[in-house]
Amino acid sequence: MTYTLYDKLMNAHIVREDDTGTLIYIDRQLIHEVTSPQAFEGLQMAGRKPWRLKANLAVPDHNVPTTERLSGVSGIKDPISKLQIETLDKNCDTFGIDEITMNDIRQGIVHVVGPEQGATLPGMSIVCGDSHTSTHGALGALAFGIGTSEVEHVLATGCLWQSKSKNLNIEITGTLNQYVSAKDIALYVIGKIGTAGGTGFAIEFTGNTIQNLSIEGRMTLCNMAIEAGARVGMVAVDDKTIDYVKGRPMAPTGKEWDKAVEYWKTLHSDKGAFFDKTIRFDAANIKPQVTWGTSPEMVVAIDECVPNPKNAKSDVQKTSWENALSYTHLKADIKITDIKIDKVFIGSCTNARIEDLRIAAKVAKGKRIADNIKLALVVPGSGLIKQQAEKEGLDKIFIEAGFEWREAGCSMCLAMNADKLEVGERCASTSNRNFEGRQGQGSFTHLVSPAIATASAIAGHFSEIK
């Protein structure tokens, strides 16, 4: 028989299967401070211990400040943020779970740290109490987000009940245009299939365009699969995957490495494997993307205009567009490049890796942000990425251009730490969500790539690279 990558990964982890669902074994659980407190409390109340300690790795990220880190947790000003990180530290100490603490050089965003440390490996089943766990599928893993009660369940049993997804093949072929990135691919696809286009599916991204992406680019793409409604996003294992994993701190070595590689090379969809649905795109048609509304599917190319509700395909879409325009204070038919911005954020689990920072620095080099930009942040995805960027002199380029160079963390992706937008502020953001209030109450978020975010900071409005 022939199998898809998703089917292979599911079948390899089945513990039990019946009419109610499929019980699968979980190889790795990544933990952060927001969705874990109640899970640990549940364990304590039931008198249980984690099933397999080494299956878990904890990293604080959502509430971690990106400035004034020298004083550690005690220096966090927001009492809720401070409590959540203190609670994670305490729980990990109590239960004996490995944690990369706030001031560890390896600390960063959990979906950046996992692959960086080799905690994410091909063929693994990986969960985290965070929807963007789909990121790890870029390495040929079965990775998905779970809720707090499921975090507790995985801690206690090492297993989780799941319903099987259907298979969706998104095939992209051809050569990308200059400055078109994996982020643009993701937004373009979501714009075409909608935020419900992947509902009920596991997406495998295929085609020579995907094969030509770096592993970091693939992570960006799989990170956004959840925004298309899919449970997981995946890319088959190839030589790039194996080269990326080799030598990581938690990767296997010696004979175990050889055995692992032999298995990993089977992690691709078989020729002739059945997909419930296949959607094909030509990479040549993809331009830099900018979201204009309150959903990732409300997106157009940067050289286009804000859509007019009169042209909506249905009454539901018309109402949705009208509501989005009302919230974002935009008018239909205006050019995207005429939209002025107040702040710029380069970071998040979508776009805070060294490749993202390099392209942003390339665009920023020798230039200066516009006078109307109140704040432009560059937030590395981990302390090690920050260290590498500084070794390459990227920090100096950003600082000379007027950007603030920060410590690692989730930062302005979501309004859960000190980095947030004020009411009425408009942001060009490399993050993954743009619903109402995502980056701060009454704020407006436009999702873009690192290159477009940087060019827009320099222009003071949305701009192509010049």
Cβ count near 202 (within 10 Å): 29
d(CA 134, CA 111): 9
d(CA 250, CA 54): 11
Cα(first)–Cα(last) distance of the chain, in Å?
52
Cβ count near 45 (within 10 Å): 9
| Residue 159, annotated as binding a ligand | no
Torsion of CA 35, 131, 54, 355, to 10 degrees: -120
Beta strand 375-378 with 289-291: parallel, antiparallel or unpaired?
unpaired
Contacts of residue 114, defined as CB under 8 A and 6 or more positions apart, other chains included, come to: 28, 30, 57, 120, 126, 136
- Please say whether the beta carbons of 240 and 214 come within 8 A: yes
The type of residue at 140 is G
Cα distances (angstroms) measured from residue 447 to each of 37, 156, 239, 298, 420:
31, 38, 31, 10, 15
Contacts of residue 243, defined as CB under 8 A and 6 or more positions apart, other chains included, come to: none
Cα distances (angstroms) measured from residue 177 to each of 86, 191, 235, 282, 284:
46, 18, 21, 11, 6
β-bridge partners, 290 = 300
Task: Write the DSSP symbol of residue 186.
Answer: H
CA-closest candidate to residue 236, choices 266, 257, 262: 266
Q: Output the CA torsion sign for 299, 301, 303, 308.
A: negative
| Residue 413, annotated as binding a ligand | yes
| Residue 427, annotated as binding a ligand | no
CA-closest candidate to residue 445, choices 453, 437, 434, 459: 434
Binding residues: 349, 410, 413
Binding residues for [4Fe-4S] cluster: 349, 410, 413
